[in-house]
Structure 1
Amino acid sequence: MLKMICLTVAIATTLGSAAHAADLEFEGRTARAESVAGGGFVLHTPDRQLRIAAQPMRSDTASPMFDALFALAQQEMDQDRVDAIRDPSFDEGRPVPCECFKTGANWPYVWTRDVSFAADLALARLDPQRTRQSLQFKLSEARDGMTPGLFVAQDTGSGGSWPISSDRIVWFLAARHLLDDSAFADQVWQALQGTLAQDRAMVFDAATGLYRGETSFLDWREQTYPDWTREDVRFIGDSFALSTNVLHYQALRLGEQLAGQRGDATRAAQYKAWADALGPRIDARFWREDAGQYMSYIGEAAHPVPYAKYDLLATSLGVLAGVLPTDRARRALAAYPASAAGSPVVWPQEGNQPVYHNRAIWPFVSAYSLRAARLLDDAPRITSEVQSLMRGAALAGSNMENYELLTQKIHVDEGALSGPVVNSERQLWSVAGYLDMVLLGVFGVEADGQVQPKLPVALVQPLFGTRDRITLQMDGKRYVLLKPEKMQGELLVAGKTRRDGATTTVQLVPEKGQRPFAERKDADPAPAHPAAAAYAPATPAAPSAKREGNAWTIPVPAQHVLWRDGAAVDAHDGVARFADDGLRHCLSLTRRADALESLHSPTTCIGPQQRLPGAQGWSWTQPAAGRVRLRLQFNNPNGPINTGVTAAVKQLAVRCAGQPTQSHTVVMPHSVAVQESTAAEFDLPAGACTFQLQDGFNMSALQHFAHYTGGKGGRAGVLNTADVKALLLAPIAALAGDRP
């Protein structure tokens, strides 16, 4: 009972009480909305007064603030419609004709993940033509004239972009809504085949059954990855992210669907098999039982350690994809922390990083969390996300890119830790997230016109007041929700539904199976949420290993955990010892404090490793049949660590006497010094073998990047090279079924 009373008070403060329905107050800041003649509104924020014109879609509730902010989101969506886009790194910043959506007031370009998430949330249903054109801008053929197919462009990014960043697959999350246009559907099918084939060949890891690469959207490395990735992103390219794997799962299911529709039974079966295998791997490998959550990412195949980092977008996408078991999905979302201002996009926070992804609320992520909460009937989370989306837009006077976690301000001054470091008004995916909150989150209007509300009881008083109904008008149709006759439980759903011409009227009723308020006890525990702003312990230094005779000795400081080849190991009296078994092993440390765990230290690997000098070809005599791990020692100075399109992508081919050729992808991202590439593992027979580097494919090979003028690999032509110094070869344990 106490839990629900507190929740109701919190939402009433945000939406306004029945007596002051136009007011919103939070931490001493107040916003007020008032309607004006002609259907418009005036929004008074703490810093300015904003006029909002009458809009095509209109909500009519007891809250002028709710209605005004819905109109504001439409107004900002219209402001993001452009006839040309531009970016300083493309065509020297000159306008590029495109009847598209730009990314935001400060981001006048089209970026793959931004427009895709925005389209999936709302744009595809509200402006399908412009959304298609925006998505088409991110499709490209190869510019060598010989590589067949159509591909989705991965934007400039970490270490020189794809495949260090590999979430371009999100494009299909948006495209799936727009297949009623046959020409576009054909393009989607072509791009799906080409992109899935590339990713399967160059991003998929057969040993773990997962796709490698960076977390989707969380692409400022040290904001969410260990600080030591600031100048070495090789680990990111070798690791596995929950969000990126869920997006691949979704794309594979779309491939199965489209192949079936086109009578391509072979491809349909292949995509189905890949998706069927990927789903259980996602659940098994990312679930962390001690936290009751799904990890944002895990370590590389050589050292697949769990990371105590969680992100709300990844969890929400997993819920929505149906790839997570319902019981775990409910537990994960319920356990994910939230502040009074809203849900952080990552948790726990890093104390040495400024506000951006770290210590921040991102409205589009809140919108996905709201969707996931609806699917799981999580009324408190639905309420919290509606509250957060409204509060942010009202106090800022715009649907901002992001907000500080505790104050929900668009900037807090904390010296070197100030932030959000970057912010923008009318950010496209924030606008789309707000629109989705109104259409689906409150009124329950699905893209197909079905009305399936899941409205928390806590929202009834502020939205309905003394009224018996609230109304949404869109696309010449009218949707009416009738106030429930009984207020019991936490969630209201559709009861009797009546359709009369263009009007659909839904009677809200308590969801079946809920207990009435009167039967709830004060002892009913709320989920034990750790503080949303809790800081992880500092990341430790790399472990130091010392060879003593035929064994290795590794000091393990107090409150630290030593990890070996992906698993925690016991240490006695502050020391761990391992016999030298003639194989290569990888070690890292984490620090634990107050039930929180740090990110992993840099990895230290022990055991034998051969260095074969050279740049292209190497010979090796394998002493006995066994498995080896290969990396290239290289330098790639073709761009900065945080951007570009010239990650060097090669195929490492191995030929051994009497055996067919084996080949794996190795990636050499932008570097600041000599570093090691991503790994390739091979099973070799005893005897002579040769290793040869062959050409691969990177983003500079796409015609899309012929317009790139912000670095190498653009207008001057394809660039897929690195300065290779040597091949590193290490014997490792043979695969024994599924790795830990």
Structure 2
Amino acid sequence: MAGTLLACGALAGALLATAVLADTVAASDASAPVEWQDSVAWQGQQASVKVRKDGGFVLAFPGGRREIAPQPMRTATASPLFDGLFAMAQAELAQDKVDAITDWSFNDQKPYPCVCFETGEKWHYVWTRDLSYAADLALARLDPERTKTSLRFKLSEMRNPKVSQGLVVAQDTGSGGSWPISTDRVVWFLAARHLLGDPQFKDETWRALKNTLAQDDLYAWDPEMQLYRGETSFLDWREQNYPAWTAKDTTWIAQSFALSTNVLHYEALRLAATMAPADEQASYADRAKRLRKAINARFWREDRGLYMSYLGPWFHDAAVESYDLLGTSLAVTSGVAPPDRARRAIERYPVSAAGSPVIWPQQPETAIYHNRAIWPFVSAYALRAARTTGNTERIAFEVQSIMRGAALAGSNMENYELTTQAVHFEDGKLSGPVVNSPRQLWSVAAYLDMVQRGVFGLEDDGSVKPMIPAQLVPMLFGERSEIVLQTADRRIVLRKPDGVAGGVLVAGARHDAGRDTIVALAWQAGSGVRLSRNGAAMAPSTPAAPVIERDGNAWKTELGAGVRLYSDGWIIDDGEGPAHRFRMAQPPSIRHCYTVTNVGPDAVESLPSPTTCIGPSQRVAGAFPRAWTPPRAGRYIATFRYRNANGPINTGITAAVKRLVLQCGDAPAQTGPIVMPHREGEGDSTSWTYTAKAGVPCRFTLHDGTNMSDLAHFVHYTGGKGGAGGPLNDAEVGDLILDPTH
């Protein structure tokens, strides 16, 4: 076809453009493109949009041309670029609506009937977190019925009659054999909260919420930290944002604590406080308050003015120099962050010229994917957080970043390289993004939310609260006196005041006329903050585990220049000065665990090394119940040596999940969870802390818990064990290691 160009690279075949229609508006052809109105230019590349006479658009971008048909919702602004990309997002949302889904690891790769949203051009399944974030951003509002069908696909009863029954949310396949190494399935309720007007769906939501929280309370809640354990939400490719050594050992992740996952549990508890029977609501509300307090006590780093992305196990090393934009934004929008901390966190989270990195600092020798990358859906949550805190500089920045990425790629891509905003950046073995997909569902939802909420201020309750920074006014209004959003059921008109001022346009007087909501805008002072521009800063490399050696009656370790030493989460050598020997004063009577980090010249730390623990460990072997008599009174840590080869380290559903029961004399029994993730060879399970009295015999019994293979949902899983072949919650259990601790 004359005039047709083929999209190149990752977009080939997906964005095959048709010829420019003969009825393209002639005036658009004749005029030079205007930056952010007709076009956007970036690092020598340009994309432009022209309006067709039929109300559609033609997008010309570096990879080709794309015809965009008129869509049900429309914006009328001074920017064909803005209006056309809004139409493109709707067109891509329509492409993501399917009647069947497929994945390599489910249903023998055969289509499974589901009137659902698929995840993207390269991802034809429904994943709990992808769907839920997309639904929270836009889908629940725009297509509630299909959203409910998709969400229901991720609910499941238990198929194993030996475990506690009830409807729960499925944690997808993941690190070390899935839940409870990954515990962010509660994101499902972030989406479901918008759809509770349907009585049947509300009942399903409450049953799933009650049971899912109950499971997490048994197997993911840590009473020492008053936090839920588990991996960062969405950032589930371990070596992208965790130390590289966790790629082969996810036990550390299983007993770490993530900001994002804990904020999601806070939101789930708050929802439970509104849905539970009246006599249970106060309990859920109190638990939410206590969790909020613990999040602020544990994750906030005052010197950075940021919330840390995750913490290590409490008995190894706590603070980690890693921050993530999704967790930060959720902490702000949920109300977990107090106002002053919320304001500082959004001000200080660094950016690059192209957009906001999903993690900071970037990690060396790590390919581009989550590392060194912009993800539009995360940028949309950052935009929400910027609106919450009134950060006008960041509002404008995120709007333009989301627009630029979609325009230059010709699609709402999964992600972009951080400094170029390219869909692929060549950097040898680190090239990436390693995986990228057009019309990625949560990226599509991000664009739709940016337009409806981020610019027009349309909130979930139907109120209209625009917050348009002065930087965006020339693009949106030009010479116009008003801009318009036409949705399926209403028309929102924003009218610019006379005169030009700085700051931000916010809602003034409002009146409704039939289906029209007309808002007179007024100038208000802006935030006046400047964004931190070191988003591409690289962390130092992660060091090897410290070597602890005997030194007479004491212990010693050799520390290189700039190496910081931690003991049980506390800095005991700050890493300043040249290489030197650090000496521990005396042999430990309790277990101590040591890690080291490298400290860069800008005081940014590396991720922590593996942990080296020393102390008077005891081993208990044999059949269960295993007997042991404490030599001293106090607290102990119990850990099992084990093997679990039932799946690969990076995926599956057969993490072995157990309950360890301890009976010491006539004292009440103590019980806690033990998790044994997939791994190669023998390693350590997660640990559990208990108390014992000197000389009082104790008996240990290990009982089966539950894992994701127990869910009926996974009867269709054919990519590994625990699926179609039946539930599997097993590991080879070796010695029980007992260590006295603080």
Partner in structure 1 of residue 117 of structure 2: 101
Is 1:716 the counterpart of 2:725? The answer is yes
Name the structure 2 match of 1:660: 668
Counterparts of 2:654 and 2:82 in 1: how far apart (Å)?
A: 46
Q: Share of identical aligned residues, percent?
A: 55
Aligned twin of 1:481: 494
The aligned residue for residue 310 of structure 1 is 323
- Is the Cα contact below 8 Å between 1:215 and 1:244 reproduced in 2? yes
Matched residue type, 2:301? R
SS for the counterpart of 1:692 is strand
1:360-393 superposed Cα distances (whole Å, 9 cap, x missing partner):
0000000000000000000111111100110011
From 82, 89, 93, the equivalent of 2:105 is 89
- The correspondence for 1:580, drawn from 575, 587, 590, is 587
The partner residue of 1:534 within 534, 537, 542 is 537
CA distances 1:427-475 after superposition (whole Å, capped 9, x unpaired): 0000001000000000001123211001111100111001111101012
> Following the alignment from structure 2 to structure 1, what is the Cα–Cα distance between the partners of residues 267 and 585?
42
Counterpart residue identity of residue 590, structure 2: L
The Cα offsets for residues 381-417 of structure 1, whole Å up to 9 and x where unpaired, read as: 1111100110011011100000000110100111100
Q: Confirm or deny: 8 A CA contact 1:18 1:462 kept in the other structure.
A: no
Aligned to 2:628: 620
Alpha-carbon shift at residue 18 of structure 1 (Å): 5.2
Is residue 18–residue 465 contact of structure 1 (8 Å, CA) maintained in 2?
A: no
CA distance in 1, matches of 2:670, 2:535: 47
Change (3 A) 1:19 1:698: closer
- Answering whether residue 512 of structure 2 is matched by residue 499 of structure 1, we say yes
Alignment partner, residue 481 of structure 2: 468
Shift of 1:617: 3.1
Mapped partners of 2:500, 2:632: distance in 1: 73
Q: Deviations over 1:37-79 (max 9, x none)?
A: 2211111111111010100000000000100000000000011
Question: Equivalent residue of 2:698, what SS?
Answer: strand
1:56 is paired with a residue of what secondary structure? coil
Alignment partner, residue 697 of structure 1:
706
Counterparts of 2:443 and 2:97, CA distance in 1: 15
8 Å Cα contact 2:352-2:533 kept in structure 1:
no
Contact 1:556 1:576 (C-alpha < 8 Å) held by counterparts: no
The aligned residue for residue 684 of structure 1 is: 692
> Is residue 446 from structure 1 mapped to residue 463 from structure 2 by the alignment?
no
Kindly provide the CA deviation profile for residues 503-522 of structure 1, in whole angstroms up to 9, marking residues without a partner as x. 111111122x659xxxxxxx
Residue 487 of structure 1, CA deviation: 3.6
Query: Is the aligned partner of 1:37 residue 2:22?
Result: no
Counterpart of 1:729, as a letter, is L
Alignment length (residue pairs)? 704
Identify which range, 224-233 or 488-497, moves more after superposition. 488-497
Counterpart CA distance in 2 for 1:579 and 1:732 is 16
**In 2, Cα distance between equivalents of 1:264 and 1:620:** 46
Shift of 1:88: 1.3
AA aligned to 2:247 is R
SS of residue matched to 1:274 = helix
Quote the offset at 1:530 in angstroms: 5.1
Q: Which one of 134, 137, 143 corresponds to residue 127 of structure 1?
A: 143
Q: 1:608 aligns with which of 592, 609, 616?
A: 616
In 1, the alpha carbon distance for the partners of 2:679 and 2:158 equals: 25
Aligned to 1:519: none
Shift of 1:526: 3.2
Query: TM-score, normalising length from structure 2?
Result: 0.93
Q: After superposition, give the CA deviation of every residue in 1:538-593 in whole Å (9 maximum; x if it has no partner).
A: 10111111122332212222111100111101379542424224100111001111
Distance of aligned partners of 1:454 and 1:578 in 2 relative to their CA distance in 1, 3 Å threshold = farther
1:167 aligned partner, one-letter code: D
Of stretches 548-557 and 86-95 in structure 1, the one that deviates more from structure 2 is 548-557
Partner of 1:199: 216
The CA RMSD over aligned residues, in Å, is 1.5
Q: Is residue 257 from structure 1 mapped to residue 279 from structure 2 by the alignment?
A: no
1:293 aligns with 2:306: yes
Cα contact 1:205–1:212 (8 A) shared by 2: yes
* Offset, 1:598: 0.4
Measure the CA separation in 1 of the matches of 2:317 and 2:520.
51
**Is the Cα–Cα contact under 8 Å of residues 260 and 327 in structure 2 kept in the other structure?**
yes
2:546 aligned residue (543, 547, 552) = 543
Residue pairs, 1:234-633, within 5 angstroms:
234-259=251-276, 263-265=277-279, 267-511=280-524, 526-527=530-531, 529=532, 531-570=534-573, 573-595=580-602, 596-614=604-622, 616-633=624-641
Output the CA distance in 1 between the equivalents of 2:212 and 2:593: 33
Secondary structure of 1:677's counterpart equals strand
Structure 1 position 210, deviation (Å): 0.5
Q: Structure 1's 19 and 368: CA in aligned 2 closer, same or farther, altered over 3 A? A: closer
CA distance in 1, matches of 2:587, 2:554: 5
Distance 1:552 1:574, change over 3 A: closer
Match of 2:651, SS?
coil
**Residue 726 (structure 1) aligns with:** 735
1:16-40, Cα deviation, whole Å (9 max, x unpaired): 9858821111011111101112211
Aligned to 1:154: 171
Q: Secondary structure at the match of 2:176?
A: coil
The letter of the residue matching 1:550 is N
How many angstroms apart in 2 are the aligned matches of 1:135 and 1:205? 28
Alignment of 1:146-225 (within 5 A): 147-225=164-242
State which of 57, 62, 81 in structure 2 corresponds to 1:46: 62
**Residue pair 1:558, 1:574 contacting (<8 A) in 2 also:** no
Listed as ranges, the gaps of 5+ residues in structure 2 are 1-31
Q: CA deviation at 1:533?
A: 1.1
| CA distance in structure 2 between the aligned counterparts of 1:22 and 1:616, rounded to whole angstroms | 73
Q: For the residues of structure 2 that align with 1:268 and 1:446, how far apart are their CA atoms?
A: 26
Contact 2:74-2:87 at 8 Å conserved across structures: yes
Q: Which residue of 2 aligns with 1:140?
A: 156
Q: Does 1:67 align with 2:71?
A: no
1:472 match: secondary structure: strand
1:622 partner SS: coil
1:77-134 CA-partner distances (Å, limit 9, x unpaired): 0110011111111111111111000000110100000000000000000000000000
The answer to whether the 8 A contact 2:393-2:529 is kept is no
1:305 is displaced (CA, Å) by 2.0
Are 1:76 and 2:92 matched, yes or no?
Answer: yes
Distance 2:329 2:148 in 1: 25
Cα pair distance change 1:466/1:557, threshold 3 Å? same
Unaligned runs of 5+ in 1: 1-15, 516-523, 734-740
